[in-house]
Amino acid sequence: MANLRASDATATAEPRSAGRRRLPPEVSIFGVMIGMMLLFEALGWIFVGQSFIANPLRLKIMILQESVIGILAVGVTQAIITAGIDLSSGSVVGMTAMVAASFAQSAGFTHAIYPSLTGLNPVIPVAVGLLCGLAVGLINGGLIAYTRIPPFIATLGMMVSARGVADWYTDGQPVSNLEESFAAIGSGWWPVIIFLAVAGVFHVALRYTRYGKFTYAIGANPLAARVSGINVERHLVVVYTFAGLLSGLAGVVTSARAITGQAGMGVGFELDAIAAAVIGGTSLAGGVGRMTGTVIGTVILGVLTSGFTFLNVDAHYQEIIKGGVIVAAVIVDQYRLRKRRKA
């Protein structure tokens, strides 16, 4: 049995591509997702007398609802891979929803926030929203990279401040009467398309670009990354800027979909986003995580929420069980990580 080992260096070894001997980790998460859907299907027939899955409208709503969370999860996944975190994403959603909406109000609306800036091309509110998110990300990244403030604290502070900005912006008044062209961004399947596009772009980035390899390296060992020539500080700023940008995008989509901007939008989204990433196999300790897992994790969260609503489960029970699922997901993931190493 000793020939299991590549003990002789003189044997020619062809480069083998990743993942052919070991199943990719997403397979198990995907299995969990399917299992959960089947479970709700079964429970559905028992308790409500209808099918959970064979209902296109429900599926559509389920995915649409989670798309915004998904966009945030794409950003926070990268931050977590660097052994950091972004707690500010939900608040930034609220902030950018307000700001973007204020530049998207219909022409001729008499009580507009900026009366002279109504009826604008939707590109403008979108750009403004993205810029706000980018600015937040830059600040987060700058603080985390260049001071010794732990990411948890830095983004926690931003979480509070950004929400403050959202509240202050219009003194709590919702921003309504938005242009059709702007609202179109949040209509139909667009949120899902945007989510999947963004996930696709960053999946490719993480797997195939130098940016991706360096992100994992920093998460695994920042000192070794530095010694290997990586400018860790600059890289972290980029990662958090992306996260901020994606939060801005999520805010734009949220206000477009609701056709209004409200200061309370996005409350709690950051935790759902983190949960989606963690369920998808991203390790909070850093160095481990894949975008495909995050997407599946997002869907699983959607299945959970939607499934409970379908079964008419009390909202409070939903939260309790959701918490349990997240913990269970992390436990399973730890187990898998340890098995992947020796003993």
Query: With binding defined as CB under 8 A, does residue 148 bind another protein?
Result: no
Positions 15 through 34 that interact with another protein (CB under 8 A): 15-16, 18-19, 21
* Minimal distance, residue 86 CB to another protein, in Å: 20
242 binds another protein (CB under 8 A): no
- Determine the Cα angle at 296 with ends 294 and 298, to 5°: 70
Q: Contacting another protein (CB under 8 A), which of 189, 208, 317, 335?
A: 208
Residue 55 CB-half CA count within 13 A: 19
Shortest Å distance, C-beta 156 to another protein: 23
Query: How far apart are CB 283 and another protein at their closest, in Å?
Result: 8
One of 111, 148, 316, 342 touching another protein (CB under 8 A) = 342
- Piece of 144-152, 157-165, 217-225, 257-265 that binds another protein (CB under 8 A): 217-225
57 touching another protein, by CB under 8 A: no
What is the per-residue DSSP string for 321-342? Answer: HHHHHHHHHHHHHHHHHHHHS-
DSSP character string of 41-91: HHHIIIIISS-SSS-HHHHHHHHHHHHHHHHHHHHHHHHHHTT-----HHH
The one among 27, 160, 224, 320 contacting another protein by CB under 8 A: 224
**Between the CA of residue 195 and those of 71, 73, 192, 247, what are the distances in Å?**
5, 10, 5, 12
Q: What x/- string results for residues 269 through 308 when contact with another protein is judged by CB under 8 A? A: -----------------xxx--------------------
Separation of alpha carbons 312 and 322, rounded Å: 15
Is residue 227 involved in binding another protein (CB under 8 A)?
Answer: yes
Query: CA angle, 256 as apex, 252 and 257 as ends, to 5°?
Result: 120
**Least gap, CB of 17 to another protein (angstroms):** 8
Among 2-10, 245-253, 255-263, 274-282, the segment contacting another protein (CB under 8 A): 2-10
Q: Which position among 168, 193, 213, 327 is part of the footprint of another protein (CB under 8 A)?
A: 213
Cα–Cα separations (whole angstroms), residue 103 to 137, 210, 257: 21, 37, 15
In order of 16, 54, 132, the CA distances from 309 in angstroms are: 46, 16, 34
- Which part of the chain contacts another protein (CB under 8 A), choosing from 11-19, 145-153, 314-322, 326-334? 11-19
| The two three-digit tokens of residue 106, written as one number | 């219909």
Which of 124/220 has CB closer to another protein? 220
Closer to another protein by Cβ: residue 5 or 111? 5
β-partners of residue 105 are 178
Among candidates 218, 248, 257, which has minimal Cα distance to 235? 218
Residue 330 to residue 15: CA distance in whole angstroms: 33
Which residues of this protein are in contact with another protein, per CB under 8 A? 1-2, 4-7, 9, 12-16, 18-19, 21, 208-211, 213-214, 216-217, 219-221, 223-231, 286-288, 340-343
